[in-house]
Amino acid sequence: MCGIVAIFDSGDSAENLRKLIIQQAKRVRHRGPDWSGLKEVMNGVIAHERLAIVDPESGSQPLQTPDGTVTLAVNGEIYNHESLRKKLQTPFIFSSKSDCEVILPLYLEKGHHFINDIEGMFAFVVHDSRDGSFFACRDHIGIVPLYIGWRADGGVSFSSELKAIKDDCVRFQSFPPGHIYHSSTCKFSSWYNPSWKQQKSWQDYDPCTTLLTLKEAFEESVRGQIMSDVPWGVLLSGGLDSSLVAAVAMRHMKLCLAAGKIPPWGGKIHSFCIGLENSPDLKASQAVADHLGTIHHNFTYTIQEGLDALSDVIYHVETYDTTTIRASIPMYLMSRKIKALGVKMVLSGEGADEIFGGYLYFHKAPNIDDFHRECVQKLDDLHLYDCCRANKSTSAWGVEARVPFLGKQFLEIAMKIHPSLKACKDPITGDPRIEKYCLRQAFVDDENPYLPDHVLWRQKEQFSDGVGYEWIDSLRALAEHEVTDLMMKQAKFLFPFNTPKTKENYYYRSIFIKHFPQPCAAATVKYEPSIACSTVAAVKWSEDFELVAKESNGECSGRAVRGIHMDAYENVAAIARGIEKSCRIDEGDGMGNH
């Protein structure tokens, strides 16, 4: 990851703007500790803090066209940059091998209408001095963070993180994913409008063909995101998602070595996990690493070390969402250890639960329409939760997390799979089955197993649970000690917007406002009742959910619904032995209507 900050259309002097943006850029330097760049443009200035992963010797930003008229600053990766370069209609003199520089000739050829051509994760700003215009853009899901702010002098600011512009703007907000903001209209417009966001958009594939297509698409997504000129690794919790990423990456690496292509670190893949001593994830990740042959690093942390990092994590992740903070702390601590080993990039398994309905509460989905609708809503909100955590927790130490499950091309295939193949009930028999069923099936290989059966069919663990069950209990105990009953009674007056419902959230909110006291800062966080990471709509799926939400004010841990899929979990062994029966689909009825 890198850090970008930009100020446009300001009435302030160039000298003052330069001084200001240097100070703002320092606040996001942790994202890009390798080099700092700054360009003055017409009525503005752009700064860039670089994390050098592709072409580390050159490629410093901001980048400019050969004549200096167009200036670009990017935070992210353009995975298909080589193919895009080959498709250019007009010759362009590149100044580097940076994957991001291809945006400049694309803009010269197509204006800002080139964005759909890009496969990657990104947030960028472009300034065109030929007419004084500018625009900013954020990737399709919001994998990479971006904020926009409006200044008192009429200027507009952009920043990778809220902390850079919070003191200089009258108002600011999170930049919506899949959108562009152009100075000609001063409005946001959507550039990403996939058909799978519409109900009934799924396609009635033959299940066996679908599984093969899904498998091949995911393998391609992983291969495409292994784009690095520096040492990289994989996050490996031992759960299904990260284990599949690691398995595919390992196979790709073996093929590269067989072809004589020696990547950084000599072709050895390092994997990383963190947890409390004897936590579930540490044991599971070691088993996967032993199967795959990665060089594995199991890091441990103490509860006190985690609690001591709480304020720093809230500052870096810029949220008061309970689930996000619970999971961000161990990820933040792990990222520091990863960086100490010299690693700058890691592959992660974020996104699979949202795509395939992997959270435990999906077992209560009443029908396939609601199942699909919930997946879409979870993806729409992902930039506020898991993407926020994964990006900012790692970027706090200058590490970049890439997410193959959220590749645009893979999403196009995975989100058009018939929901009956994803659902937690067999569409023919109505029997319960384990979550993310079709994803697990797609990687069953008896001759050359991607993963051991006990991993491929492992029960879902939320990250904050998997690192050790005592972790959440300790956070609750701390909040119980710090927040009194009287404070909770007065919460609606102190926090009239998104009023905390639990002492734990109250405590996080009180730390958040110390770092971000501006009223509009609270509005950058979404806060609503949830059951094990569900949306508000899914809470209504079950009377049990509504009861838990009422009694616990919306407990977000996976333990809140642990009992609802035990029948499916007990059937895992039988499922693993009877895979062939899955190649059937009832297109007429769907889940739960038998």
CB 144 within 8 A of CB 76: yes
How many whole angstroms separate alpha carbon 404 and alpha carbon 439?
14
Q: What are phi and psi of 140, to 5 degrees?
A: -60, -35
pLDDT of residue 205: 64
Compute the Cα dihedral for 404, 405, 408, 414 and give only its sign. Answer: positive
pLDDT of residue 194: 95
Tokens of 27: 């606040």
Among the four given CATH numbers 3.30.420.40, 3.60.20.10, 3.65.10.10, 3.40.50.150, the one describing domain 3-193: 3.60.20.10
pLDDT of residue 458: 79
How would you list the strands of the sheet with 70-78, edge to edge? 63-64, 70-78, 120-128, 133-138, 179-182, 187-190
Supply the DSSP string of 259-318, one letter for each residue. TT---GGGGPPEEEEEESTT-HHHHHHHHHHHHHT-EEEEEE--HHHHHHTHHHHHHHHT
pLDDT of residue 579: 37
pLDDT of residue 591: 30
Q: What are phi and psi of 9, to 5 degrees?
A: 55, 35
- SS3 of residue 206 by DSSP: coil
First-to-last alpha carbon distance for the chain, in angstroms, is: 49
- Domain ranges across the chain: 3-193, 196-475+482-582
- SS3 of residue 482 by DSSP: helix
| Residue 172: count of CB within 10 angstroms of its CB | 24
Supply the DSSP string of 103-142, one letter for each residue. HHHHHHHHGGGGGGG--EEEEEEEEETTTTEEEEEE-SS-
Evaluate whether 3-193 and 196-475+482-582 have a shared fold: no
Q: Which residue type, as a one-letter code, is found at position 419?
A: P
pLDDT of residue 1: 76
pLDDT of residue 574: 43
What radius of gyration do the chain's Cα atoms show?
A: 24
Roughly what angle, to the nearest 10 degrees, separates helices 503-515 and 322-340?
60
- SS3 of residue 234 by DSSP: strand
CB 213 within 8 A of CB 205: yes
Longest Cα–Cα distance of the chain, Å, equals 71
Tokens of 113: 């209408």
CB 125 within 8 A of CB 6: yes
- SS3 of residue 32 by DSSP: coil
* Mean pLDDT, contiguous 10-residue spans, the chain (594 residues): 95 94 98 97 96 89 97 97 96 94 98 96 98 97 98 97 97 98 97 89 75 96 94 94 97 88 76 93 93 96 97 98 96 98 96 95 93 96 97 98 98 94 88 93 95 86 63 95 98 96 97 97 91 88 80 58 49 40 33 30
Supply the DSSP string of 410-439, one letter for each residue. HHHHHTTB-HHHHSSB-TTT--B--SSHHH
Cis peptide before 62 (omega within 30 of 0): yes
Q: Which residues are catalytic?
A: 2
> Is the CATH number of domain 196-475+482-582 3.40.50.620?
yes
How many whole angstroms separate alpha carbon 85 and alpha carbon 451?
37
Residue 91, C-beta contacts closer than 8 angstroms, at least 6 positions apart: none
pLDDT of residue 465: 59
Taking CA atoms, 245 is separated from 21, 209, 263, in Å, by 38, 21, 18
Beta pairing class for 120-128 and 147-150: unpaired
pLDDT of residue 313: 98
